[in-house]
């Protein structure tokens, strides 16, 4: 996934959605559907559940384009937040239903919360990595997925060792925000399933 769309594009897209342009929803879907789906799959661990979240998120956007405020951040970040909130909400519902079915064999509430936090943190970490500028992302991938040290990373990227260290340090600082963020409960901005308009142009 690329960088956040420029604010002008964000505002223009919101205006087109508010006018009910189905083509705008299609364009938004093409641009961000893979982001929504990957975040939902990371939290829920299911392709089917991720498909459902994707439909719900874009259905919500289609019916509530004015819920996005360009002053609060990029459209990409807002879409990701909707996906994250709805996925965590669904995970809580699924875990609660599973606990009822399992009775005495169900894990303790604290254990369920730990599992939800871990899934939420993993999803946010994925989003942060894909949202990073390409130089930071490349340095992290070399260092942590290919096990390069900072000298090898510098050589592979064709930069100085100081620059490699700077990129790794900044990348890690950004990633640390995923662990410091608590899973958010659903709120009134979260997508709601069902309704006659959901998925009509998807």
pLDDT digits (tens, 9 = 90+) for 114-167: 777 777 777 777 777 777 778 888 888 888 778 888 889 889 989 998 998 888
> Burial of 48 by CB count in 10 Å (0-12 exposed, 13-18 middle, 19+ buried)?
exposed
pLDDT for position 174: 73
Q: How many CB atoms lie within 10 A of CB 201?
A: 15
User: H or E element: which one contains 127?
Assistant: helix 109-131
Question: What is the three-class DSSP state of 16?
Answer: helix
At residue 185, the pLDDT reads 36
pLDDT band at 28 (very low <50, low <70, confident <90, very high): very high
Judge contact between 86 and 190, C-beta under 8 A.
yes
Q: Work out the pLDDT band at 107, boundaries 50, 70, 90.
A: low
Buried/exposed code over 124-138 (b: 16+ C-beta within 10 A; e: otherwise): bbbbbbbbbeebbbb
- Phi–psi pair at 181, nearest 5 degrees: -100, 130
Note the pTM of the prediction, 2 decimals.
Answer: 0.62
Q: Is it the case that residue 25 has pLDDT exceeding 60?
A: yes
Straight-line distance from the first to the last Cα atom of the chain, in angstroms, rounded to the nearest whole number: 20
In this model, does residue 50 exceed pLDDT 90? yes
Q: What is the pLDDT of residue 188?
A: 39
The mean pLDDT of 90-109, rounded to a whole number, is 69
Tell me what the mean pLDDT of segment 30-54 comes to: 92
- pLDDT of 180: 58
Mean pLDDT of the chain: 78
Please give the Cα distance from 130 to 110 (Å, whole number).
Answer: 30
Judge residue 35's burial from the number of C-beta atoms within 10 Å of its C-beta, 0-12 exposed, 13-18 middle, 19 or more buried.
buried
HSE-up (13 A, CA, CB side) for residue 51: 3
- Which residue, among 33, 25, 26, 31, has the nearest Cα to 63 in the 3D structure? 25
């Amino acid at each position: 996934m690329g960088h956040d769309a420029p604010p002008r594009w964000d505002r223009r897209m919101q205006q087109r959605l508010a006018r009910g342009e189905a083509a705008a929803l299609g364009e938004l879907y093409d641009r961000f559907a893979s982001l929504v789906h990957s975040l939902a799959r990371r939290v829920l661990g299911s392709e089917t559940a991720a498909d459902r979240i994707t439909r719900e998120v874009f259905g919500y956007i289609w019916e509530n384009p004015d819920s996005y405020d360009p002053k609060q951040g990029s459209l990409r970040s807002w879409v990701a937040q909707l996906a994250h909130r709805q996925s965590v909400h669904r995970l809580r519902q699924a875990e609660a239903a599973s606990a009822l079915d399992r009775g005495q064999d169900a894990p303790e509430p604290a254990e369920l919360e730990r599992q939800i936090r871990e899934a939420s943190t993993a999803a946010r970490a994925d989003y942060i990595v894909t949202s990073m500028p390409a130089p930071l992302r490349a340095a992290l991938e070399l260092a942590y997925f290919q096990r390069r040290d900072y000298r090898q990373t510098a050589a592979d990227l064709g930069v100085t060792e100081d620059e490699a260290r700077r990129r790794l340090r900044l990348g890690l600082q950004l990633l640390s925000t995923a662990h410091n963020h608590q899973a958010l409960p659903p709120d009134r901005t979260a997508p709601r399933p069902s309704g006659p308009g959901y998925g009509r142009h998807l």
